[in-house]
Structure formats: structure tokens, C-alpha cells
Amino acid sequence: MIKPEGELKVSFGYHCNCNRGSSDEVSSEYDIAPGMQRASSFSCLSGAAISANATLANTNICNGLIGAEILPSLDSPNSFRKVSSSPSLSRLDILSSSLPSSMSNLSCSPSTPSDLPDCDSYLFSSMSAPSKSEGFLNSMEVQVAGGAAGEDRVQAVCSEENGWLFCAIYDGFNGRDAADFLAGTLYDTIIFHFSSLLQKQKCIESSDSTVSRFVNKERYPFELDANKDLCNDTSKNIKSSESFRHELLDSLQCALSQAESDFLYMVEQEMENRPDLVSIGSCVLIVLLHGEDLYTLNLGDSRAVLATDREDNDMNGSKKLKAIQLTESHTVDDEAERTRILCEHPDDPMTIVGGKVKGKLKVTRAFGVGYLKRKILNDALMGILRVQNLISPPYVSTQPSLNVHRISKGDHFAIVGSDGLFDFFSNDEAVELVNSYILGNPYGDPAKFLVEQLVIKAANRAGFSMEELMDIPAGRRRKYHDDVTVMVIILGSNQRTTKASTCI
């Protein structure tokens, strides 16, 4: 938009071809990989980002594997790239060789019924990832895009054959190492837990057990449709029953917990040489679309916002959309979060200082940031960097907010963005901008358009022209806007096929 080499040329797209037909009904009757339901409910995805923070060199954490092996083609602050399908060898296999003890110290692991010993032995005797033939998101079916903008990292993984779309934004702070670690390892960790979940469901079926016993309904504050059976055909389809949805959310949470355990273990090994690692963290936002179910997991202040029809729309007039925030904001500005953290530390009068947790951090839930979670990591810091009176850690939670939304015909698109987007636009404003753009540019890039509008607004707010703002180098430009990463998922099942094209 500004100039050929400008930083706004940072977008990726994934477009489902429309050879399947124009039916609005979601069908699950296609022949697909065993164990999965072919029921994708999106037509295309676009992503864009812009840097504001200057980034430091990547750490040698895990013997340099994170920088040298995991992110060789993603590690660019100014570009998104389509990445070839990931190899069948999981990054967990690489990491586990350096972490002989961390795998047995998971703070969250899938519960297994005592009356299914064979399943327990099969599922949890080894933490190695599934092979290519075992994984439902295997390398032959997966399309991957990813990139970096300042301290933000982004991933998008699609398997149309299996009806899955995975999107993630890792908004790093105090450095890029935590976001790099998540970008390099979390997806594969999630895949392992999903594969375990599917095998667990098969074991439950073969034992003629009732899956509802595993559902802890108090954990998830939402209503789910429980009218579908778990499996219609055990060799081909797994229906998204209520229990399956709860178990899938459990799998997401377990994968995040494992990633946290592994990361802090590595930080502890490296902190003598790089004590700054103990203060590095990341917000996490995961959006997973499976059939007609849209799952969200978040830590921190990134958001997923759904655009859906307003109930008061006039049938003869132009439709207006309303914005529904699917995620929670974990900051001290949120009254519920502020109350929670104060109640958890009744003996510490300095829990929140200057509008920040222990005077250090505005977000109340985050990945990493070990010095606010473990005393040994806080002690690695010197002088004023160290948190004084760390009375009752952890002060920052790794308990994510989890939700699932059943997509309806009235749902149009979802905006997935880091907090830098919402510094300038409310949920309603973002939805209105995207909707107006899509109506006028049905084949355009709504995510890139949204980033461009943010730059224009940031420039006007600062009293600059757009060109003047963009000429300010990353690092100094952080004064005017944050790193911004945006993805827009266009919902709808009438444009999908087993082969997709990448739109740049």
C-alpha cells in the first residue's frame, strides 16, 4: 500500500476452492481419513501483521534447536510465508532428548478411567508423537502458514480433508523467546494430545463405557448440544458430541500445560547465562475450527471476535452485524481478574502495584514469565529487576480460558488478533471495517485491510502522515503502536474442497 518494500506486504491467505457446490448445508458424508469427520465450516483465511518492537537475537535455549531447526523459515520480522507441510517427525522427539525428566512432571495430564488399564498403557506409556500413518493431521494433508512480526508469532494449519483449521497467535513480551518456543513446539504437542484423545475414545467404545463420566461440566461455562452420538461409524466418523468437545478442550489445556513445563525447565537450565529469560513470556490465543464447532483457548489479552447477524435486522434493509467476543481479557483492568488475583494472595498487600501484577506485568495470565511464578527464577534477577517480597507465587496464572461456539448460518466471520489491534479499534469497529471491506471486495484481503486502517489511525493520532510513521524504525515506532497480528476467518461451508490454493 505504501511502497513495494513496505512492511504492509505481510500477509498470507488460504482459500478453499468452490468446486463442491453452493449448498449451505454442512455435510459429513464425504469419504475421509479414518476417525475424522469431514465438515469444514470456513471458506478462506487471511492473515497480516506489522512490526513495532525491535527483536533481539534468538536464544540458544535447548542447544539452539529453537532457532536453528524449528523456525528457520519463519524467523523474519517482516514477512509471512507459506510453509511446506511439516515433517512427520515431531519436534517433541527432538525436545524429549534434551528433557529426560520434564515429560514426567506434567502439571496437567488426561485423566484415564481405572477400569481401562489397556487404554492407559497404550496412551500414556510414551510421550513420543504419533507417526505419519497414525496422525490425523499427517504431512500429506496439511497446509501451513506462519510468520513473525516483532515479538508476535503466528501459525495457521489447515487440513480440509479432515475438516480442521488451527490458528494461533503468540504475542511475546520482554523478548521473543517464549513466542518462538510456542511457535516451534506447541502445535506438535497439541497434535499428540489430540491423537491420544481419539485413541482414548476408541478404547472407551470398545469397552462399552459411557463417555459422560469424563465430563466435568463445572469447568466449562457454556451450553453444548449433546444430541449427537460419539461415533456413527467407528472406522470413519467421530461426531462432535458434548463429551468429545469437553475432552478436546482438555487436550488443548494439557498441551499448553506441557509446553509451559518444558519451557520453564529450559529457562532454569539457561538462566545462569541468560537471566533475562526468566522475565520473557507470551500471551496465547488458539482458535480451532472443527466442523461446525469453533474452539478457543487464550491466556492474556489477545482476542477472538465473532461477527454474526443482529437480531433486529430489517429483512428489506442492509444487514448489520454484531460483534461477540469469544475470549476473555486477562488483565488487571478486568474487574473479575483483578478480584481473582487479590483473593488468591490475601497476605500480600503488594499484589497489584501501579496497575500491574507485582508492579511488573499488566496481564494476569500468560505463558512463561517464570520470575512471577517460581522463587528460584526470580532470584536469578539482579537489583531492581528482581521482584521484592515474592510472598506467594505464582502470581501469573497459566490456567487458560476455554470456550466452544457452535457455528450457525448467521455467523459471517471471526477476527483473531493480538491486543495491538484492539488498542485502536473496538470489537464493533473491527467487525464493521471487515464487513464493509468484504462487501466491496469479495476477493480481497480483509486482514491486510484492517492492518492498513490501523496504521492510518495510528498516524493520525500521532500527527504524522502514514509515510512518516512507516519511516520510523521498529523499536522507536513502538511509541505509536504495538506489534499487530490479525487473522480473518470467513465462515461458511459452501466453498470448500479437498484441495486448496494459497493466495498472496
Per-residue pLDDT at 223: 37
CB atoms within 10 A of CB 311: 7
pTM metric for this prediction: 0.79
- For residue 207, the model assigns a pLDDT of 58
Q: Which of 151, 50, 133, 120 is nearest to 484 (CA)?
A: 50
C-alpha cell at position 407: 457455528
pLDDT, residue 205, reads: 59
In angstroms, rounded to a whole number, what is the distance separating the alpha carbons of residues 276 and 382?
10
In this structure, are residues 414 and 287 in contact, taking their beta carbons and an 8 Å threshold? yes
User: Which position has the grid cell 517464570?
Assistant: 370
Per-residue pLDDT tens over the stretch 130-171: 333 333 444 456 778 888 888 999 989 887 777 789 999 999
Residue 345 has what pLDDT?
A: 97
Q: What is the DSSP string of 332-399?
A: TTSHHHHHHHHHH-TT-TTSEETTEETTTBSBSB-EE-GGGT-HHHHTTS-GGGSPS---S---SB--
pLDDT of residue 291: 83
| Residue-by-residue DSSP string for 448-476 | HHHHHHHHHHHHHHHT--HHHHHHSPTTT
Segments of the chain with pLDDT less than 50 = 1-9, 18-39, 68-70, 72, 75, 85-139, 208-240, 494-499, 501-504
Rounding to the nearest 10 degrees, give the CA dihedral for residues 459, 462, 465, 466. Answer: -20
- pLDDT for 58: 58
User: What is the structure's pLDDT at 133?
Assistant: 30
pLDDT of residue 435: 95
| pLDDT recorded at residue 110 | 28
pLDDT reported for residue 79: 58
Dihedral sign of CA atoms 427, 433, 437, 440 in order: positive
Residue range 478-497, pLDDT digits in tens: 999 999 999 999 998 544 43
